[in-house]
Structure 1
Amino acid sequence: MSLSNAILRGVTGAFVLNSGLSKRGMPTEAAQGMQGFAASGIPAMAKMDPDTFGKFIAYSEIGVGASLLTPFVPKKIAGAALGAFSAGLLSMYFRNPAMTESDGIRPSQEGMSLAKDSFMLAIAGALLTDK
């Protein structure tokens, strides 16, 4: 693994893993709020039980973070996992008009927290295309 890949994977993996670990045992009310927001980007999420959704999100983030941090996981597999994860986050950004300015691309103040996920998609692209 090159130093540049180690940096991309290490920093991003630690961030995503920490996010997933902090969501374990999420109260039902918090899971419901997160689920409602997630359903704006991925409508099928609305059909899940809130507690199941909370576990799904927590363990998905833990899995993506762990794949990035584990050196024997090939960079293309880790990049694909990160790409799918960040694409899901960005779908919430682009499908919610309150997240963007009137042009539909630039983030509004409310959208800044999701617009940063474009960096994770770029990192996924770097991992997938690196030779």
Structure 2
Amino acid sequence: MTKPQAERAPLDPEMFDPVCPSPLVPFRVGDKWATLILRCLQDGPRRFSELKVPLRGVTAKSLTQSLRRLERDGFVVREESEGTGRRVEYALPPLGRGLLGPLDAACEWTRENWDELIDAQEAGLSRDS
């Protein structure tokens, strides 16, 4: 059961540090934003506008596309509620929640191998120039 909107703490705008190792994780679920979206939803459903707060670099179009892909793949559900106004929230079903453990392990591995990953990327960039 999820907490009502009023009881949930807002997402921290600094949730993803600019030097966050997430882009270095050696696998992707969906696209560049997918794992970050999963992290944003780990504590309960969120509205589109809430997701944009910590995902400062994402455009509305990219966020929409990522959410649709995650929904198509069964990792996210779109919940629409009627009332005084249409309200749409995104949440993790069991399949999406099941990715959090492997994602934790991948993030830990990335932290442990941070220096080597940065060195490899820099070496690759210098070869590409």
TM-score (norm 1): 0.27
Bigger strand share: 2
TM-score (norm 2): 0.28
Bigger helix share: 1
Pick the structure with greater CA Rg: 2
